[in-house]
Chain A
Amino acid sequence: MPGNLDYIARVSDDPHTPVNQSAPDPEQWLADHGDALFRYALLHVADRSVAEDLVQETLLGALKARESFAGRSSTRTWLTGILKHKICDHVRRKTRRQPEEDLAAADELIADQFNQHGLWSGGPRKWRGDPSSAFDNAEFWDVLTRCLEALPERLRAAFAQREIEATPTEEICKLLDVTATNLWTLLHRARTRLRACLERNWFRSTD
Chain B
Amino acid sequence: MSTVLQLKSITKTYGDMRALSGIDLALPGDAYISLLGPSGSGKTTLLRVIAGFEQPDGGAILFDGKRIDTVAPHKRGIGFVFQNFALFPHLSVAQNIAYGLENRDVDPVTDRRVVDARVRDIISLVGLSGLEGRAVTQISGGQRQRVALARTLVTEPRMVLLDEPLGALDANLRARMRAELRAIRERCGVTFLHVTGSEAEALAMGDTVLVLESGRIAQSADSDTVYNRPASPAVARFLNCYNLFQGRIEAGAFVGGAGRFALGASAPTRAATPAYAIRYDRVSVRPRDAAIGEDEIRIEANFVASEYSGAAVNSFFALDDGRVFEVESHLSHAAPETYAEQGRYALVWKREDALVYA
Do A and B originate from a single complex? no
Residue numbers of B with Cβ under 8 A of A are: none
